[in-house]
Amino acid sequence: MTSREGKPDIATDGQKGGENSSDRVESATVSPQSRGSQNKSAAPAAAVTEAVAAEPVTRDSVPAAASDATPKPARSRNRAAAKPVEAAKKPAAAAAKPASDAQPARRTAAKKAAPAKASTPTSARASAAASDEPRDEARADKRASPRAAPEEAKAKPRPSTSRARTASRADTRTTTRKKAAPRKVSADAESAALKEPVAPLVEPALPRSPAVQARSEAPNTAKSAPHRADQPADTEPTPRGTAAFMEAAFGPNSHLPEQLMQNIERIEGLNQRLLAALSQRRAPNPGVEAPGPDFFASTAAAWLKQLAEQPSRIIGQQVSYWGETLRHFAETQAALSKGLMAAPEPEDGAKDRRFANPLWDNHPFFSFVKRQYQINAKAMQKAASDLDIEDHIERRRIDWFTRQIIDMMAPTNFLATNPDALEKAVATEGESLVQGLENLVRDVEMNGGEMIVSLADRDAFRVGENIGTSEGSVVARTHLYELIQYKPSTAQVHAIPLVIFPPWINKFYILDLKPQNSLVKWIVDQGYTLFVVAWKNPDVSYAETGLDDYVSAYLEVMDRIQDLTGEEKVNAIGYCIAGTTLSLTLALLKQQGKDRVNSATLFTTLTDFEEQGEFTTYLQNDFVDGIEAEVQRHGVLSSQLMTRTFSFLRANDLVWAPAIRSYMLGEAPPAFDLLYWNGDGTNLPGKMAIEYLRGLCQANTFVKEGYTVLGQNVQISDVTVPICAIACETDHIAPWRDSWRGVAQMGSTDRTFIMSESGHIAGIVNPPSKKKYGHYTSEAGFEGDSQSWLDAASFHPGSWWGRWDQWLAPRSGGWVEARDPGEGFGPAPGQFVHERP
């Protein structure tokens, strides 16, 4: 800054530099002659001021004679030590006039002292200190409150007069003459000057944020605390990582939001719970945690072969990747320079719902991250697809694992690059992150140390109360199943009863969620006597239960139904793995010459496992060996492992997206009945799991040489009863083409195939009232392949339930009086359905 005359404004610069500059000027040597001559030359004042400020005033600046006479008291940087001196100066300062009016008096006193030749550096300093009491008072006030509030700073008038600036420049210039030859002085004057306490050096005050200023004004902080050597020995350290530490660090008046303080306390407790829950995790089984070494060896061998035979392809991949990355960086810089922030769309034009937030397109950081992720994903897919691998199974596995890595590394999965999570964290003062941590801790505790995200609110539903509420009774119970008969809703029913065998991987109430979408209720309303099997949730005591035991249970259920209804035949429904077992049972009955089943309906059932689809990764020896080791250790294949396995088949929908909503956004799991059922899994008996995976899935013996059931070899061609198969268009567990191929190899001449829209669950639980998904039928039959069937298919809007009823009713006999189940062993849904792993 400059004064009105255009000269450097040193007084203002000194104020900006804090108290340190003024203290050093006060401690410097000032002679009367220099005060009179300083007004003549002010040009180098700024440079001199900087030199003085940079050089601390030490004992060496006092002439040797004066230093040796009387030792000066040691300088203390403790502000408390300067308080007596400042208090002593205040009475004299209160009576003194302003510094500008005291200039003539100081000059007169200096002239009178000159003839006596008693002016030495120390005496001059004492004289200057005595005459500058008004400025000392101002500095003392500054030291008492070095960081005043912004309002007080604005209220104080700044000394901006030209005379004050001139005096300041004169005082500053005199400091450069502290090495002048010493003059003689009386011993009394020298002693008095040396005994005067020297004010401590103060670091220049820098601009402070409100939070830092509040922290500096708080008591017991590092600035105002006593010197380390003065602290009592029993002082306890401030606790770290707690709200108490925050208060000690920022002070009681730190203005931290109360909600933030509470969140910090909650995080500490949640961290302790999380560590305790993770410690409960069982020792991991490498066989089910990652692919075996053979997979990595074959992949590495394929890459090394390509490097040796076609190095130009690998070099081309790298050049393409880095070229596109640099081009993207240049385009981003150019767009920013023009004020454009929108990120370019992918080349295929596909919309990724993970990037629905507008910030992914109109914020420079997020748009750059998004586009770079897309470039990386494209490069990884290109590198994997260019590997020369002849084995189609290995090719599928490499593609699958590549997709898993790409999905895992999406920027939406990380807090720092997820705009939705950051926005919500700021808006809620961190509450969303604390709630997300609480959701994570709850999931880990609930799953025995495993990180499996909850897809639905487990407290929102109670089986038998608000889901699975169809009226009925348990009419039979064994160690492996309960048989439920539902109460009729019509006066007459079809003569041949209908029985549903649901999968024992999950629980049967998927078909009886709510009255609005309950297949159980709908079937009863159509006039059928309906039975449903509720399977036992096995524990380690069921380790030796195999597929033969389940086939035997099918036969027992048919016998029990015959006892209750008097009908020798039943119409049977098998869902998923229960449909596969029903096919084995039908083939066994054919071999035994027994006619117990009038017709069979298969829901999303696989019987030919030649094409393993998305399960290819899980059906190789390394993974199945891991499962076999798992069941040998624990007796069962746990529901947590199966849930995780099925979830990663749709990782974005069933793993990452729910984890983001629950753990980053802090949202509670939704109250969704279908997702609630999906998380209510069961264990599998160890023996049964290995027999199914080894014999049916890997070896595909039911289609090839035959599978042994209860001592008899059966094949798929032994299934000769009328068949109606329901498959789903987007089913990733049982693809419709694989389901169609199995039905095509059955020996039945009465075969019907219906393809519903949607997936493995939603395509089956598709009530007519919803009018959401349609279905396909075809007159092509099974002479050609699945594509020929699809080419000739016709689409029908609405649910397939009505069309299936048209197929089933003629195969269900005449009408008879409705059958009441009685009380039995208790009301539906029974006891087994409530058992959890």
Query: Is residue 771 assigned to a domain?
Result: yes
Residue 52 and residue 134 share a domain: yes
Query: Is residue 773 assigned to a domain?
Result: yes
pLDDT at 127: 43
Residue 114 and residue 26 share a domain: yes
Residue 795 and residue 762 share a domain: yes
* Cis ω for the linkage preceding 104 (within 30 of 0): no
Q: Tell me: the pLDDT tens digits for 611-670?
A: 887 888 888 888 999 999 999 999 999 998 888 888 888 899 889 999 999 999 999 999
Q: Tell me: the pLDDT tens digits for 393-441?
A: 888 889 999 999 999 999 999 999 999 999 999 998 888 999 999 999 9
Query: Is residue 322 assigned to a domain?
Result: yes
Residue 579 and residue 515 share a domain: yes
pTM of the model: 0.68
| Residue 11 pLDDT > 70 | no
Max mean pLDDT among 248-252, 358-362, 763-767 falls in: 763-767
- In CATH, what number is assigned to the domain containing residue 789? 3.40.50.1820
| Residue 798 pLDDT > 70 | yes
Please write down the long-range contacts of 773-782, taking CB distance under 8 Å and 24 or more positions apart: 773/799, 774/798, 775/799, 775/800, 775/803, 776/729, 777/753, 777/803, 778/753, 781/751, 782/740, 782/743, 782/744, 782/751, 782/753
Out of 348-362, 383-397, 731-745, 791-805, which region has the weakest mean confidence (pLDDT)? 348-362
Angle at 683 between CA 460 and CA 766, to 5 degrees: 50
Q: Tell me: the pLDDT tens digits for 36-63?
A: 444 444 444 444 344 434 444 444 444 4
Query: Is residue 687 assigned to a domain?
Result: no
Query: Is residue 432 assigned to a domain?
Result: no
Residues with Cβ < 8 Å from 8, sequence gap 6 or more? 1, 2, 42, 45, 46, 169
Query: Is residue 663 assigned to a domain?
Result: no
Residue 484 and residue 369 share a domain: no
Residue 489 and residue 581 share a domain: yes
Residues with Cβ < 8 Å from 361, sequence gap 6 or more? 341, 342, 343, 355, 367, 370
Residue 830 and residue 716 share a domain: yes
Q: Write out the residue range of the structural domain in which residue 526 sits.
A: 472-606+700-834
Residue 168 and residue 52 share a domain: yes
Query: Is residue 268 assigned to a domain?
Result: no
pLDDT at 341: 62
- Residue of 576, 697, 724, 728 marked active site: 576
Residue 410 and residue 311 share a domain: yes
Of 312, 333, 419, which Cα lies nearest the Cα of 660? 419
Q: Mean pLDDT, to the nearest integer, of 284-313?
A: 84
Cα 211 to the chain's mean position, in Å? 29
Confidence bin at 188 (pLDDT 50/70/90): low
Residue 180 and residue 217 share a domain: no
- Look up 724 and say whether it is catalytic: no
Q: Mean pLDDT, to the nearest integer, of 597-615?
A: 92
Residue 148 and residue 249 share a domain: no
Considering its fold, how many domains does the chain have in total? 4
Residue 753 and residue 718 share a domain: yes
Query: Is residue 574 assigned to a domain?
Result: yes
Q: Tell me: the pLDDT tens digits for 663-687?
A: 999 999 998 888 899 888 899 999 9
Locate tokens 């007069």: which residue?
Answer: 161
Of 408, 403, 376, which Cα lies nearest the Cα of 660? 408
Q: What is the spatial distance between Cα 627 and Cα 622, in angstroms, rounded to a whole number?
A: 9
Residues with Cβ < 8 Å from 743, sequence gap 6 or more? 602, 607, 723, 725, 751, 753, 782
pLDDT at 284: 75
| Residue 693 pLDDT > 90 | yes
